[in-house]
Amino acid sequence: MSLLRIYDEKGRLLKELTDPEEIAKELEKLGVLFERWQANRPLSKDATDEEVIKAYEDEIKRLIERYGFKSYDVVSLTPDHPKKKELREKFIKEHTHSDFEVRYFVEGDGVFYLHPDDKVYVLHCTAGDLISVPPNTKHWFDMGENPSFRCIRLFTTPEGWKAEFTGSGIEERFPKYEEIVR
Ligand SMILES: [Fe+2]
């Protein structure tokens, strides 16, 4: 189930939403795209990346036409990844980049923290959720101690992906993956 929690910058909870339509409406105000997708064919757990792309080709095509994405791929992370700790620690720090951050969760989950204004929007993405973080929006991501997800990513430029860390330390004031996902 998708979940959006809105906090002030001190980490005080202001609002909580679970209805995908209400979540989409709230995030739209920030220029953040949130959608629920459905595969156009059944997908097994061991589907290849090509099969995953095929299953969502209409949705991918729609986003390419709308936003001009140049490429896409499928990325997976499993709890046995040898660098899971380093990966978690990198993306859990507040940063920006000049490209969109577009993720569609084919399987598994993760928590996005968006900091576009004086509030922090904490979104737990689960299978079927698409999120697009606009360029240059401050954000961070927590995959948890035992990351498990398979995502489709879309890119406009290969260079746009370099993270610029803000060094604000704001992430310390917010609940981590394990506290959000219960
Ligand atoms: Fe990012």
pLDDT tens string 49-79: 999 999 999 999 999 999 999 999 999 999 9
How many angstroms separate the CA atoms of 8 and 56, rounded? Answer: 36
Residue 61 pLDDT: 96
Interval between CA 101 and ligand 1 midpoint (Å):
6
Q: Which amino acid, residue 31?
A: G
Using the predicted structure, report yes or no on whether residue 159 has a pLDDT greater than 80: no
Residue 164 included in any domain: no
Q: Give residue 27's pLDDT.
A: 97
Beta-carbon neighbours within 5 Å of ion ligand 1:
101
Find the domain containing 29 and state its range.
3-158
Q: Which domain CATH number covers 51? A: 2.60.120.10
Tokens of 107: 């399987």
Give the integer Cα–Cα distance in Å for 110 and 117: 22
Listed range (35-44, 96-105, 133-142, 155-164) with the worst mean pLDDT: 155-164
Domain assignment of residue 170, yes or no: no
pLDDT per residue as tens digits for the range 115-158: 999 999 999 999 999 999 999 999 999 999 999 999 999 998 87
How many whole angstroms from 88 Cα to the centroid of ligand 1? Answer: 12
Within a domain: residue 166?
no
Q: Give the percent of the chain with pLDDT over 90.
A: 86
Output the CA 143–ligand 1 centroid distance in Å: 12
Assign 1 a pLDDT band (cuts: 50, 70, 90): confident
Split into its structural domains, the chain has a count of: 1
Beta strands of 10-128 (E only): which ranges?
13-17, 33-36, 71-77, 95-96, 101-108, 110-114, 119-125
| b/e sequence 69-81, b meaning 16+ C-beta within 10 Å | beebebeebeeeb
Q: Is residue 182 one of the residues assigned to a domain?
A: no
Tell me the CA–centroid distance for residue 50 and ligand 1, in Å: 25
| Residues making up the chain, counted from first to last | 182
Is it the case that residue 32 has pLDDT exceeding 90?
yes
Classify residue 114: in a domain, yes or no.
yes
112: CA distance to ligand 1 center in Å? 9
Does residue 42 carry a pLDDT above 90? no
Q: Is residue 96 within 8 Å of residue 138, measured between CB atoms?
A: yes
Print burial letters for 85-102: b (CB count within 10 Å at least 16), e (below 16). Answer: eeebeeebbbbbbebbbb
Q: Is residue 59 part of a domain?
A: yes
Q: Is residue 146 part of a domain?
A: yes
Looking at the chain, the whole-number percentage of residues with pLDDT higher than 70 is: 99
Distance 22 CA to ligand 1 centre (A): 24
pLDDT at 37 over 80: yes
- pTM, whole model, 2 decimals? 0.94
Q: Does 163 reside within a domain?
A: no
Query: How far does the centroid of ligand 1 lie from the alpha carbon of residue 19, in Å?
Result: 25
